[in-house]
Amino acid sequence: MFELPSVLDASGLLDKAFGRAAKATATGPDRMARARNLAVARVKIAGQAIDSTLRGLVKGFPSLGRLPPFYRELVDLLVDEDSLKQHLGAVDWAAQRASAIAREYRRRIGRADGKAIGELRRAAYGRLSSLVKQVAPDLEALKEARRALRRLPDIDPDVRTIVVAGYPNVGKSSFVRAVSSGRPKIAEYPFTTQRVSVGHFDRGTERFQILDTPGMLDRPMAKRNAMERQAISALAHLANGVLFVLDPTETCGYTVEDQRRLLEEIRALLPKVPFVVVANKSDIGAASADAIAVSALNAEGTREAVDALLSKLTSRRPEGAPRAARP
Ligand SMILES: Nc1nc2c(ncn2[C@@H]2O[C@H](COP(=O)(O)OP(=O)(O)OP(=O)(O)O)[C@@H](O)[C@H]2O)c(=O)[nH]1
Ligand SMILES: [Mg+2]
């Protein structure tokens, strides 16, 4: 979703900087001058490579404060913004230090003779190395943040959106696969889905988004983990309609009673949003009252369930929802 700069680790960055520096060439009237100019060129190139790489990294990180509300919440759940700022600050500082160190040693080498030239060049490399190693943990953290940000789903706020929700292991991801282009992972254990993902499908000329969400348990909001809160956040910010998946067979490992309590909680949370409840795994189990029997596994009844929900959708976007700008 974002264009994010790739993040080198400390040793990768040093390899790049010193590798470039090693290709430097120099001219001069005599051997001493050539050696001096070469050492100056190497230090300059190494310093510049470190400076520009680190600066590019800081510039390339998106400003999280400008994201639309849904993304802001998701980012809050995925990365700690305060520490991200600190890491970016540390890297920015290191970029400036690299230039300052290179400047200082170029000046000193310019006045040096004989053995001192090589010694100063090595000393400059040593200072640059320890500078970069000093921010190694910051680079590591930025790498991690980048990984998290890249996994954000690419959601178009102008396209009507169905959010698929329910207990873990009930077949939400299987449902999304059955009815859309989405290809979330399916497995026979709970908590397979760990982040919101998006699929698309068409009806006539209109395109719709369908979001797969991590499973939620029926428990107080304060006890919910970051994974469950992603699901709540998607529901609260993006749902034009909710497709709630029940598993009346209880092969998911949870009782229908618990699942229905979650359903009622989410209904109460979104009083104006239309719901359709499906009773999944109809190929192996009993039906459930007020729910459309489907088998996500065999794609039986799934299209009809989606159409039932679409027929309840009215406005193009949830009432009062802001027109979010795409990040
Ligand atoms: N028999 C049968 N099994 C199904 C059906 N739908 C899903 N399953 C199985 O149920 C298990 C869970 O399916 P998922 O689609 O991963 O369930 P989920 O709700 O996305 O699970 P989490 O991501 O962990 O919350 C898998 O073993 C699926 O093969 C169905 O209609 N019939
Ligand atoms: Mg899933």
pLDDT at 325: 45
pLDDT at residue 27 greater than cutoff 90: yes
233 pLDDT more than 80: yes
- Three-class secondary structure of residue 304 per DSSP: helix
Give residue ranges with CB within 6 A of ligand 1.
168-174, 186-188, 190-193, 214-215, 280-281, 283-284, 295-297
| Ligand that lies nearest to the alpha carbon of residue 169, given by its number in the listed order | 1
What is the chain's mean pLDDT, rounded?
Answer: 92
pLDDT computed for residue 286 by the predictor: 79
Task: Using the atom order of ligand 1, give the atom closest to the CA of residue 186.
Answer: 16
Q: Which pLDDT value is given to residue 320?
A: 45
pTM: 0.78
pLDDT score, position 282: 97
Region class of 285: left (phi > 0), else alpha (psi between -120 and 50), else beta: beta
Which are the contacts of 63, defined by CB distance < 8 A and separation ≥ 6?
A: none
Kindly report, residue by residue over 147-197, the tens digit of the pLDDT: 888 888 889 888 999 999 999 999 999 999 999 999 999 999 999 999 999
Q: Which residues, at least 6 apart from 106, have a Cβ–Cβ distance to it below 8 Å? A: 40, 43, 44
Q: What are 255-302's pLDDT values in tens digits?
A: 999 999 999 999 999 999 999 999 999 999 878 889 999 999 999 999
Residue nearest to atom 2 of ligand 1 (CA): 281
DSSP labels, 28-44 = -SSHHHHHHHHHHHHHH
pLDDT recorded at residue 316: 56
pLDDT of 90 > 50? The answer is yes
Angle at 308 between CA 191 and CA 323, to 5 degrees: 75
- The ligand placed nearest to the CA atom of residue 177 is 1
Which atom from ligand 1 is nearest to the alpha carbon of 300? 31
Atom of ligand 1 nearest to the CA of 298: 31
Q: Kindly tell me if the per-residue pLDDT of 319 is higher than 50.
A: no
Probe ligand 1: pick from 163, 179, 186, max atoms within 8 Å of CB?
186
Distances (CA, A) of 114 to 43, 106, 162, 317: 17, 15, 73, 74
- pLDDT, residue 152, reads 86
Quick check: helix, strand or coil at residue 275? strand
Element (H, E) at 235: helix 226-238
Distance in angstroms (rounded) separating the CA atoms of residues 200 and 180:
5
**Sign of the C-alpha dihedral, residues 157, 158, 159, 164?**
positive
89, 263, 273 from 85: Cα distances, Å: 6, 38, 37
Asked if the model's pLDDT at residue 65 lies above 90, the reply is no
